[in-house]
Structure 1
Amino acid sequence: MSHGIIETTAYARAGLLGNPTDGYFGKTISIIVRNFGARISLYPSPELQIEPQEQDINVYRNIYHLVDSVKLTGYYGGSRLIKAAIKRFCEYAEEQQIRLTSKNFTIRYHSSIPRQVGLAGSSAIITATMRALMEYYQVEIPVEILPTLILSAEMDELGINAGLQDRVAQVYEGCVYMDFNEETMQQQRRGNYERLDPALLPKLYMAYKIDLGKVSGAVFNDVRARFDKGDKEVIKTINEMASLAEAGKEAILKQDEKALHELMNENFDLRCKIMNISDSNKDLIATARRCGASAKFTGSGGSIIGVYKDDEVLNKLVVELKKINARVIKPYIF
């Protein structure tokens, strides 16, 4: 079967409620954000080749350029993500006793997802790669299994610490409610996922720090260790955050904008109880709330999301957040 160029995309995602409980048998609601995406192009070629992008090339203007580059994209660019995705795809095919035809390809990626601001840029590259490979080799991977495979490429292959939420949102798209019940997770290595109609959502804005790649947003957090040790405060707070997602699902279905506004604020306030938050991130949240919008992290920090009432509030958000070097957008979900 002759193939032209296969092009696939996976979009950024924003956690609406419940995050970061996806790694702790919790519940979350997430949306995809079509404003940003990772795009993969794949086409037949004599050898198998991963085309390097700018962040994969080890040539720098000077020592400061190298330092800036490492701060922004780490010690590795995106090629390692693609390698891990190809390896896991191949292993999945072997486990399912699917024989992959021996045809090579060249693969290249392009991502417009802002780095280091908690919008799931890495998993988007892996998700888009998996989609391209599925199309090229004509292999169907069930939608409920695919997020677990993507997560395993990140965690098992690359040691990236992550939960399932991002990958579920990127595979299912739209707005998804996820229940990572411990028993279900242990039995089937995945949670129960339910699509919610994005048309039921109120007006949402997002904002992210433009220069966050250069400012270390990383703050030491020991939540995982405390959770594993059975720390009562951590477990209680995580359970409370998970229950917000449940209440949020009801609020979305009833189109109760006020309830959703309050739940999103509460999500961030609970997070502050058990996690250290950098001043730069606190600033983002406080500024947005002063404008009358709700505000919480979309992921692990650097970008926020919330409900706003009307254009007056939106305009205020744009003006006030610009003062602290943050850009405001309206997320396109469908």
Structure 2
Amino acid sequence: MKPTTLVDVIEHKAYARIGLLGNPSDVYYGNTISISIANFWASVKLEPSDRLVINPHPYHDLVEFDSLNYLVSMEVCVWLWPSVKYFTSTAKIIILIFMRGFLPYLMIQIFLDRHQVKVDERPTLILEAEKELGIVAGLQDRVAQVYGGLVFMDFSKTQMDRLGHGIYTPMDISLLPPLYLIYADNPSDSGKVHSTVRQRWLNGDEFIRSTMNEVANLAVEGRRALLEKDYAKLASLMNHNFDLRRSMFGDDALGAINLRMVEVARDTGAASKFTGSGGAVVAFCPDGPPQIELLQEACRKAGFIIQPVQVAPSFLKDLDLGSSSSA
């Protein structure tokens, strides 16, 4: 007998995100500006069943292989597909789409009943699930994937202590200039990148504390630059964000290929910085089309992939925003 359900099939996507400014200060009571992008995503599909069955994806989650060599090639090229590999952890995306999809399926409508869980509290649900699994990552990831679009995030200690979460302000995506995504096939490991700096920050290292505060300030300045459409200022802030990160983490932690992507973009005069902890770079060409052509050619010569950023629109409705606990 077919089980009684809310709907026959539930499908959800979780898009990748770009940390435009302020990262990695989100895990240090800072500020960030993040963009949800439609270039890459993870998805889940839930169907009625008498049993709980997890079906592997026919391409990304293979369990049979023609040869050992094919297994190795699939692990390198596909196991972490682009939406996951370059922008956020696999587990985090799966948790988000599981919560969006599976909970309504069980008639626990956390994401459907706006009166039960306020919009700015929803990312905390993902955080708690991550903690159970031992996942360590920045706060901005789950906020970006719950809100979508362009979001300014204030994670100041005052707000975190008072509310239990940050203050998240959606911005009009039309404020963004054309951005480009550059990536390679062997990204860095974000856990290794974060580890030493995190401990130094916890130990009260004066250089790390002051530099991280400066990084957080870039998001505040960037918000103003976007609102005023001061794109020359935006370019300067993007470059400065990366330079500050580099001064804290060091070249060995950031990785040679990650550094090379930034350098290739900067050699054309484009502004560039990591989208997250490495593996991909977001670039902006303030001089317009001729500079974009130079950047595209430079990336091709260097063996990097480049494509325009497709900004995903906000996932929120007016009712969601009205349900904010900080509204």
Listed as ranges, the matches of 1:304-315 within 5 Å are: 304-309=281-286, 310-315=288-293
Secondary structure of 1:250's aligned partner: helix
Gap change, CA 1:182 and 1:64, over 3 Å in 2: farther
Gap change, CA 1:217 and 1:59, over 3 Å in 2: farther
Is the CA contact 1:205–1:329 (under 8 Å) kept in the aligned structure 2?
A: yes
**Hey, what's the Cα distance between the residues in 2 that align with 1:179 and 1:218?**
23
Q: Are 1:163 and 2:138 matched, yes or no?
A: yes
Secondary structure of 1:12's aligned partner: strand
**Hey, what's the Cα distance between the residues in 2 that align with 1:312 and 1:135?**
49
- 1:123, distance to aligned residue in structure 2 (A): 2.7
- 1:147, distance to aligned residue in structure 2 (A): 1.0
Q: Which residue of 1 aligns with 2:265?
A: 288
Q: Which residue of 1 aligns with 2:24?
A: 20
Gap change, CA 1:232 and 1:67, over 3 Å in 2: farther
Gap change, CA 1:151 and 1:323, over 3 Å in 2: farther
**Hey, what's the Cα distance between the residues in 2 that align with 1:121 and 1:16?**
21
Listed as ranges, the matches of 1:252-291 within 5 Å are: 252-275=226-249, 276-291=253-268
Q: Which residue of 2 aligns with 1:188?
A: 163
Q: Are 1:328 and 2:306 matched, yes or no?
A: yes
Q: Which runs of 5+ in 2 are unaligned?
A: 314-327
Q: Which residue of 2 aligns with 1:142?
A: 118
**Hey, what's the Cα distance between the residues in 1 that align with 2:161 and 2:66?**
49
Listed as ranges, the matches of 1:48-87 within 5 Å are: 48-53=52-57, 54-68=59-73
Is the CA contact 2:84–2:93 (under 8 Å) kept in the aligned structure 1?
A: no
Gap change, CA 1:208 and 1:60, over 3 Å in 2: same
Is the CA contact 1:31–1:175 (under 8 Å) kept in the aligned structure 2?
A: yes
- Two-structure CA RMSD over aligned residues (Å): 2.4
Secondary structure of 2:85's aligned partner: coil
Is the CA contact 1:12–1:120 (under 8 Å) kept in the aligned structure 2?
A: no
Gap change, CA 1:224 and 1:279, over 3 Å in 2: same
Is the CA contact 1:120–1:166 (under 8 Å) kept in the aligned structure 2?
A: no
Secondary structure of 1:168's aligned partner: helix
Gap change, CA 1:61 and 1:235, over 3 Å in 2: farther
- 1:205, distance to aligned residue in structure 2 (A): 1.2
Is the CA contact 2:25–2:31 (under 8 Å) kept in the aligned structure 1?
A: yes
Gap change, CA 1:30 and 1:325, over 3 Å in 2: same
**Hey, what's the Cα distance between the residues in 2 that align with 1:219 and 1:287?**
24
Instruction: Pick from 109, 123, 130 the counterpart of residue 92 of structure 2.
Output: 123
- TM-score scaled by length of structure 2: 0.83
Secondary structure of 2:33's aligned partner: strand
- 1:35, distance to aligned residue in structure 2 (A): 1.6
Instruction: Pick from 197, 205, 208 the counterpart of residue 234 of structure 1.
Output: 208
Is the CA contact 1:151–1:162 (under 8 Å) kept in the aligned structure 2?
A: no
One-letter identity of the residue aligned with 1:52: P
Secondary structure of 1:46's aligned partner: coil
Is the CA contact 1:219–1:277 (under 8 Å) kept in the aligned structure 2?
A: no
**Hey, what's the Cα distance between the residues in 2 that align with 1:241 and 1:5?**
44
**Hey, what's the Cα distance between the residues in 1 that align with 2:198 and 2:229?**
34
Q: Are 1:299 and 2:276 matched, yes or no?
A: yes
**Hey, what's the Cα distance between the residues in 2 that align with 1:145 and 1:218?**
25
Secondary structure of 1:305's aligned partner: strand
- 1:182, distance to aligned residue in structure 2 (A): 1.2
- 1:70, distance to aligned residue in structure 2 (A): 5.2
Secondary structure of 2:161's aligned partner: helix
Is the CA contact 1:72–1:116 (under 8 Å) kept in the aligned structure 2?
A: no
**Hey, what's the Cα distance between the residues in 2 that align with 1:216 and 1:145?**
28
Q: Which residue of 2 aligns with 1:91?
A: none
**Hey, what's the Cα distance between the residues in 2 that align with 1:216 and 1:62?**
28
Secondary structure of 1:207's aligned partner: strand
Q: Which residue of 1 aligns with 2:319?
A: none
**Hey, what's the Cα distance between the residues in 2 that align with 1:70 and 1:186?**
42
- 1:2, distance to aligned residue in structure 2 (A): 4.8
- TM-score scaled by length of structure 1: 0.81
Gap change, CA 1:124 and 1:240, over 3 Å in 2: same
